[in-house]
């Protein structure tokens, strides 16, 4: 990919709108309840997404100016800001998220075409072209909209985004020796992905629709049935991110 990732930017905007719709008008009571992520409330998710938007904004500034600007100063800073944000009243937390979303959207729209190939570094130390930033945000808004556990599931995620999420998981899990070889086949799209080390053992084929495969691959509640070859059960996968 090169140049402005227009399709990805549209998916980010759709996912951001979906997340904001889930929390629009949410009360302290609603946000204090557990999310789908162990140990995190819904308020934690809002605080995380707000600070993640600012962290990705740092990468855009890095690409635009050439001045190295890390996403976070340290893992401790990230964790501390999420915990502090999660304790804020619902109205403040929601407004903070919406402002952070707007700041990121504005800078994504304004980034010059010549900057999209500029190298930046993720929080995990991986060097990537800045055109990966929209993908990094896309994963956050769509998957965490499901994690809010307020009604959104993977059936609500665009099919193209579901396929891209499975692509991402398959890339990360390729050649992993801690999982058995698993093939994922989309019954409504004809695509197949392989996880694990080919030939290490007999590959177990898991078939389902794209939303269910994306939910399974990312470790989220599966909205539809999954079928396996033979009598094998669907294996548990390691954490995706």
Q: How confident is the model at residue 137 (pLDDT cuts 50, 70, 90)?
A: very high
Q: What is the pLDDT of residues 62-94, one digit of tens each?
A: 999 999 999 999 989 999 999 999 999 999 999
Q: How confident is the model at residue 175 (pLDDT cuts 50, 70, 90)?
A: confident
CA atoms within 13 A on the CB side of 34: 4
Structure-block tokens of residue 162: 């579901």
Query: Over 70: is that where the pLDDT of 1 sits?
Result: no
Average of pLDDT values for 53-61? 98
Query: What are the domain boundaries of the chain?
Result: 6-152, 159-228
Strand ranges (E), the chain: 119-121, 127-129, 182-186, 192-195, 204-208, 227-228
Any alpha helices (H) in 90-230, and if so which ranges?
Answer: 90-110, 133-147, 159-173, 210-218
Query: What is the rounded distance in angstroms from the CA atom of residue 169 to the CA atom of residue 10?
Result: 21
The reply to whether 6-152 and 159-228 are identical in fold is: no
Structure-block tokens of residue 85: 């944000």
Match domain 6-152 to its CATH number in 3.40.50.300, 1.10.10.10, 1.20.120.450, 2.40.160.10. 1.20.120.450
Query: What is the rounded distance in angstroms from the CA atom of residue 134 to the CA atom of residue 111?
Result: 12
pLDDT at residue 221, as a whole number: 94
In the CATH scheme, what architecture does the domain 159-228 have? 2-Layer Sandwich (3.30)
Average of pLDDT values for 26-48? 97
pLDDT at residue 93, as a whole number: 97
Q: What is the pLDDT of residues 178-203, one digit of tens each?
A: 888 899 999 976 799 999 887 767 88
User: With 0-12 CB in 10 A as exposed, 13-18 as middle and 19+ as buried, what is 179?
Assistant: middle
Query: What is the rounded distance in angstroms from the CA atom of residue 94 to the CA atom of residue 120?
Result: 29
Query: Over 70: is that where the pLDDT of 231 sits?
Result: no
């Amino acid at each position: 990919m090169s140049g402005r990732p227009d399709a990805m930017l549209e998916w980010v905007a759709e996912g951001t709108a979906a997340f904001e719709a889930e929390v629009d008008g949410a009360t302290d009571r609603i946000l204090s309840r557990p999310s789908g992520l162990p140990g995190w409330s819904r308020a934690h998710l809002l605080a995380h997404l707000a600070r993640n938007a600012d962290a990705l904004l740092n990468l855009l500034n890095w690409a635009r100016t050439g001045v190295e600007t890390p996403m976070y100063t340290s893992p401790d800073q990230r964790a501390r800001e999420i915990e502090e944000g999660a304790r804020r009243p619902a109205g403040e937390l929601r407004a903070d998220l919406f402002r952070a979303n707007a700041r990121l959207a504005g800078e994504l729209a304004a980034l010059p075409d010549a900057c999209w190939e500029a190298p930046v570094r993720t929080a995990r130390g991986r060097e990537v072209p800045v055109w990966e930033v929209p993908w990094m945000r896309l994963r956050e808004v769509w998957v965490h909209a499901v994690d809010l556990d307020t009604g959104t599931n993977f059936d609500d995620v665009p099919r193209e985004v579901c396929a891209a999420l499975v692509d991402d998981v398959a890339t990360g899990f390729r050649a992993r020796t801690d999982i058995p070889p698993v093939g994922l086949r989309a019954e409504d799209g004809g695509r197949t992905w392989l996880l694990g080390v080919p030939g290490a053992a007999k590959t177990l084929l898991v078939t389902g629709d794209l939303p269910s495969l994306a939910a399974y691959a990312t470790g989220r509640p599966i909205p539809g049935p999954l079928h396996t070859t033979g009598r094998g059960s669907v294996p548990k996968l390691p954490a995706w991110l």
